[in-house]
Every structure is written in C-alpha cells, then in structure tokens.
A and B are shown apart, each in its own frame.
Chain A
C-alpha cells in the first residue's frame, strides 16, 4: 500500500513472562476508521495504549507519516484519545475541558475561542460551555470527551470503548454521530471495542484479535464471508461449528452420522465445518437436499425469524434461523427429526489448525 498513513510493525508487549500483544502488523490509510475487535484480554486495548504512548512497546515500530513514534512521550504524539470512562477533568467546565489541549499548546486566545465555538458546535454542546461535567448526562459527557480530543486536531483519533458506558438505546445514535464527525473531519481513527455490532456499524476495516494475536484484518464482508479461521467464523456473526473427520474429500464423519458436504476438498483428517444459522435451511429428513438429519430440540419465534435448535447424533447443538415467511420450521415439533440443507457458497471447512480449506465443486454434483 502506497498511501499508508499509520503503520504498525511487529508491535509486541510482554508483561513479565506473559505476552499481551504479539507481533501486530497493521497499515491504516488516511481518513480510515479501523476497529480493533476482540474479547476482553485479547490485547486490543494494550495495542491502542501502545499507539497512544501510555504503554511502552517491548518490540516493534509505530510509524506515522514515516516518523517513528516509539520514543515519543504521549504529550508529544498529537493523538486525541477518548476514554471509556471519558476521563473529563471534573474541576473544569466544558469549555475549559475542550480548550485544555489548546491552552497546553499556548495558542493565541482568539484562535482558542474560535476552535472552542467550532468544536462545541460540531458536538451540539454550544449551550453547555459553562457547565461542569457532573452536571451533564452520560451522552453529553461522551460528546465533551470527543470534542476535547477533536479540538487539538489530532493526527490520529484513538477511541477506547467509547460507547460502552452509554445506554443501549443511545449507542447506535452516538456511533453514527462519531462516524459522521470522523468522516467530515477526514480523521484517521483507531477504535477498540468488544462489541461486534458497534464494530460492524462504524468500521472501514476491522482487526479481529484473540490471545494477543491478530486473527484477521478485513472489511465487514471479508470477515463475514471469508473468515480466516474458526475463531473469526464464530466471533463475527455466529457460526455452528461441527467437528469431524473428512473422508474422500466430500464427507464429514461425525460420531453416529456422516455429513454429505457441498464442496470437494483436497484434504483429509480432522476438520471443522462452519455453517451460519441464516445460511442453512431446515427440510424434511428424507429431502434429497438434506445433508444431515438432526433432532429438533426447540423452535422459538423471535420475530425476524424462527430460531430452531437442533441436536446432531454426536450431540452437537446447531442453531438455524428459519424465515418466518414460508419457512419450514413451524412444521416441526420438538422431538421430530429434520434435515439440514445448505449450498456450496454457505459451507466453510477448516483444517485441524483452524485454517480454511478451499472448496471446488464435487465431480458428480
């Protein structure tokens, strides 16, 4: 990539004997919003804090416009940070909070006033300038935190779980506001979250992390349609994972049954099949399209679809989303046998190490 703005190379953090972040590489383009996504303890926050300069990297480089930031203290990095707890200065008014960075830079007073007005206008807090943080609602405090970071016109905007302290019904709205502000300002931003919906909604690209390692980097569609391993398959959206033994390239043998795969794979041995609940359908057990039969354990109407819980012969539980309009699920009662069908495009097979296997259409299909 020629237009890389922020480049992270081999970033590693060790705490004593344990490794929190292992060899993270990432290229971020100017104006891009990249979300680091992963379960708690996956190293995403430590990665962000290394970029901000709060945590010293054990190894690796952070290059911004080609300049190495490794030795710079946080106060020289020009990165605006929005904290999960907002971390507003409780003894300062909204205006004092927002202008703090500008006063530290000793900007001339008229310039500070102008930027204050402009920034408060951006986050729609112009009438709140003289209030103290404790007099504001959570959502307003969050916007002050954002305004404070934006006011310094940061080279990179860092967002650490910016939405997780907000009420659920406010989250989507604030997510869109942050996204709109970031786009309008053309800001390069890195955000950390454990919430998949938040990540999917805001990101240009996502970095899925687990155990200190980057599992996959890609757009929402890439992660969803072509997960790099079983972790991503399960973490992004939901996937039913079925472990078995691949035989003859197109049969997955599980205890008590054999699954007829849609594709042909040039491999053998232990494999994991990943099927998304909304990409498979339920059918009669004797339907020729059925790739396996399973026992219906429960079927729940949840509005958008019927959530069907099935048990395979090896007692693996599988969840399917059957459309409420014309779906077959309501014909089945708990205890009935049902077939599960899917096509080649919906089938993902991973080898023993968790890496995806390439499929080709079977010869006789």
Chain B
C-alpha cells in the first residue's frame, strides 16, 4: 500500500473545483467589476476609465431606481407567496406515509423539466387576449374581456410557478428532519393543531423557511424570461433591462454597473434576513 500525504490527496480532490470556481466565477466577476468603472462613449462604446458615473447615473435616475423597486417588490411578493403556498404542500408530502408520496414529489418536480421560456409561453396562452381566462370570461358575460397578460399579476404568477417547486423541495427535506414524535408530544400535552404549528412546527422549520426563502428570492430577483414575456414592453425588471443595456444599447459599463447593483442588493437582503432568522432561532 502506497502512502501519500493526506494534504496532497485532499488538495488534488478539491483542486479541480477550486480551479473551476476561480476560472468561471471569480474571473468574470472581476472583469465585470472593472467594466462597471469604465466610461461609455457612443463612438467607441467602452473607454478605459475609473469612474463611479455608471453607478451614480443609476441611483440618480428615478426610472432605474423604479425598476429596482419593481424587481424587489415582485421578488418579495413571490417569495412570500411561495412560503405560504409551499409550506402546506411540503408538510403534507413530508409527513405522507402513502405509496403515492413519490408520485406527489414527482408532480412537484415535473414543472422543472420545462424551461422557464416555454412555461412563460404557456402562461401567455392562458392569460393573454383570446387566451383561456379571457375566453371563459367572454363566454360567461359576452362583450367583456379580461386580459391578464402584461400585468404584474402575470409576472408574479409566472415566477411563482417556476419557484414553487424549489421551495417545496427545500421545505420538505427540512420538515422530514423534524421528528414526528415531537409533534405528537405537543399533541399529547394539549396543543391543538394551530398551536402545535405556531409553537413547535414553525420554530423548528424556520431555518428551512429561511433557506427556501433565500433561494426563491434570488431566483425571482434574477428572473429574465418570465418578466420579459409576461410583463410586456412597459414592465421593467432588472435582468431584462440589464440585457437591453448590454445587447441593444451596447453600453457595457452601465450594464456591468446594473449587474453589480442587482447582485449587491440581493446579497445584502439575503444576509440581513439570514442574520435575523438566526437570531430569532437562537432566542426562540
């Protein structure tokens, strides 16, 4: 048996992953950070510089801060809805003893097999003028129409349908980790189902709710195809706007600055909520 120093083996094992992270994540980010400090020029596009003007332009213009605000609102609303809708589903799945449980899990995962663009197209068929909802409303009361497409409602529904499976799967594994006897103990001590939920299940599931919430929030903040297709031309969220600055306007420095503002906002909110939950959890 040949002996190799343990550190060397460990180094060889994590080496490829480290290299990948450095090459595929850190380097492009560093490049992007550099771009965001460059100057845009109509003739030459990107000019080497060290200026905060891209960031200042974003923060000074109510249009851009409005887009950030819309993105934040949509992300917060969808995250809240994901938590409210996802928890009961996850709870039922986690506590299910039925042989149909795996079918239920499959049904939750199934939407993930279809890309977000295709699913947004599906929602367009449901919510658009002459679509499913519109036709039904038209049939019930002739002459009236009910187009939901190109509203923030359509965007919320679209993002929700994409993010819900992630939330359910995260919560399910966390709830499965809570010993069902603990709930029975609460039960036998006189806690009715709602108090059992508030005093025992919810506090114990809180770390899972935080993880799922963060995951879903990040996905919503960065949603691209859904707001683009379901929100329409006048509905603006960060990711589609970023792409337009980059590809249509060819303003790489400003696009890079938008990217960083989006990233920093997401990271800050995630960190704040995690810290809050952690403190709550310790205190509880």
B189/A101 in contact, CB under 8 A: yes
Q: Which of B43-51, B144-152, B198-206 contacts A (4 or more CB under 8 A)?
A: B198-206
* 5 A-B pairs (CB sep. < 8 Å): A53-B187, A54-B187, A77-B188, A89-B182, A91-B284
Tell me if B179 counts as interface (CB < 8 A to partner A).
yes
Within 8 A of B (CB), among A68-120: 73-81, 83, 85, 87-91, 100-101, 104-105
Q: Mark B179-222, 1 if CB is under 8 A from A, else 0.
A: 10110111111111001100110011000000000000000000
Please report the C-alpha to C-alpha distance between residue A105 and residue B181 in the assembled complex, in whole angstroms.
Answer: 20
Within 8 A of A (CB), among B60-82: none
Residues in A whose Cβ lies below 8 Å from that of B184: 52, 54, 74, 81, 83, 87
Q: Which size bracket describes the interface of A in this complex?
A: 20 to 34
Within 8 A of A (CB), among B162-194: 179, 181-182, 184-192
Tell me if B153 counts as interface (CB < 8 A to partner A).
no
* Number of B residues, CB within 8 Å of A: 20
Please report the C-alpha to C-alpha distance between residue A264 and residue B203 in the assembled complex, in whole angstroms.
Answer: 69
Q: Which residue of B lies closest to A81 (CB)?
A: B188
Starting from the known contacts A75-B188, A75-B191, A83-B185, 15 additional A-B residue pairs (CB-CB under 8 Å) come to: A54-B184, A74-B187, A75-B187, A75-B189, A75-B196, A79-B188, A80-B189, A85-B181, A87-B179, A88-B185, A89-B182, A89-B200, A104-B189, A148-B185, A158-B188
Tally A-B pairs: CB < 8 A: 68
Tell me if A57 counts as interface (CB < 8 A to partner B).
no
User: Are A52 and B179 also in contact (CB < 8 A) when A91-B204, A91-B284, A104-B195 are?
Assistant: no
Residues in A whose Cβ lies below 8 Å from that of B179: 85, 87
Q: Which residue of A lies closest to B181 (CB)?
A: A87
A152/B181 in contact, CB under 8 A: no
Residues in A whose Cβ lies below 8 Å from that of B200: 89
Please report the C-alpha to C-alpha distance between residue A85 and residue B180 in the assembled complex, in whole angstroms.
Answer: 11
B190/A81 in contact, CB under 8 A: no
- Minimal beta-carbon separation of B49 from chain A (angstroms): 53
Please report the C-alpha to C-alpha distance between residue A155 and residue B130 in the assembled complex, in whole angstroms.
Answer: 65
The listed residue with most A CB atoms (<10 A of its CB), out of B179, B182, B188, B192, is B188
Tell me if B276 counts as interface (CB < 8 A to partner A).
no
